[in-house]
Structure 1
């Protein structure tokens, strides 16, 4: 019978995830974000214009609505641009790391043995730029899932194949034990 041990870790000797070199999304993914945001903002602008048109009493001055809408659009694009620059991922031997966020940076590290399913997704806009989103589903529920957008299709397929091979290796190890 194996002897039970419960040693403490020297936290300074553990690898630092902050030192990992992350791969940024493809630069063309910014175009996808801009197109998608523009479409959404066109619908919002059209809706606001329609509402403004049907208001009969006390119409606010159109210049204030337009100025407010343009400020909102500028802020939205600025936030998305800053967010785009902060994104990154890394595939390591035993896990995959994804970092995002502007004000509150979020780093998700998913051990390969927790991955249950890997999928590729391509929206209409992403497909036209040759990009895909790598979706990694884990055993930990919704909080552990990763959606890494802005990866070239071929690279995403390669990462998916690598992950699937690693999953097969892990499964074979478990079966042999």
Structure 2
């Protein structure tokens, strides 16, 4: 029978995920984001325009509403661009990493031995640009733990095969 040991680990010697070289999202994914934002803001403009058309009292505030609308539009586009540029992913020997965030940067690290399921998705606009997203599921959740958007479809299929191979080795 083995003797139980519980040695202290020097955490300064552990590999640092901060030093990992992250792959960035495909540049065409920015076009997908812009198309989605355009659709959203067009719908909002139509809604506000309809309200203004039927309510003449609010029409007096058209200048103020227009300024608010433009400032909001620019702010959302600016923040979306920052978010797009900060997203990245990496695959190491034992885990997958996904970095995201606007003000604070979050890095999710999921060991392959926790991966239960992998899904590849193509939205309408993403398909047009030849892009897909990978969703990584771990045990116990109904939603994905990591969703990596904006990957070239061929690369996404290769990533899915890699992850499926890691899952098969566990069984």
Q: Same fold (TM over 0.5)?
A: yes
Q: How many residues align?
A: 171
Residue aligning to 1:20: 20
Q: What is the Cα-based RMSD across aligned positions, in Å?
A: 1.4
**Structure 2, unaligned runs of 5 or more:** none
- Does the C-alpha gap of structure 1 residues 61 and 16 become closer, same or farther in structure 2, counting only changes over 3 Å? same
- Does the C-alpha gap of structure 1 residues 143 and 105 become closer, same or farther in structure 2, counting only changes over 3 Å? farther
1:77 aligns with 2:77: yes
Deviation per residue, 1:79-113 (Å, 9 max, x gap): 00001000000011100000000111110000001
- Does the C-alpha gap of structure 1 residues 109 and 144 become closer, same or farther in structure 2, counting only changes over 3 Å? farther
Greater mean alpha carbon deviation, residues 47-56 or residues 94-103: 47-56
1:68 aligns with 2:68: yes
Deviation per residue, 1:150-172 (Å, 9 max, x gap): 0000000001001111111122x
1:157 aligns with 2:157: yes
Residue aligning to 1:41: 41
Contact 1:136 1:145 in 2 (8 A): yes
Contact 2:95 2:111 in 1 (8 A): yes
Runs of 4+ aligned structure 1 residues displaced above 3 Å come to 56-60
Residue aligning to 1:29: 29
1:145 aligns with 2:145: yes
Matches of 1:156 and 1:115, distance apart in 2: 16
With normalisation by structure 1, the TM-score equals 0.92
Matches of 1:51 and 1:163, distance apart in 2: 50
Deviation at 1:8, TM superposition (A): 1.4
Matches of 1:60 and 1:79, distance apart in 2: 30
Aligned-partner SS, 2:23:
coil
Deviation at 1:58, TM superposition (A): 5.4
Aligned-partner SS, 1:116:
strand
Deviation at 1:140, TM superposition (A): 5.0
Aligned-partner SS, 1:66:
helix
Matches of 1:67 and 1:139, distance apart in 2: 47
With normalisation by structure 2, the TM-score equals 0.95
1:134 aligns with 2:134: yes
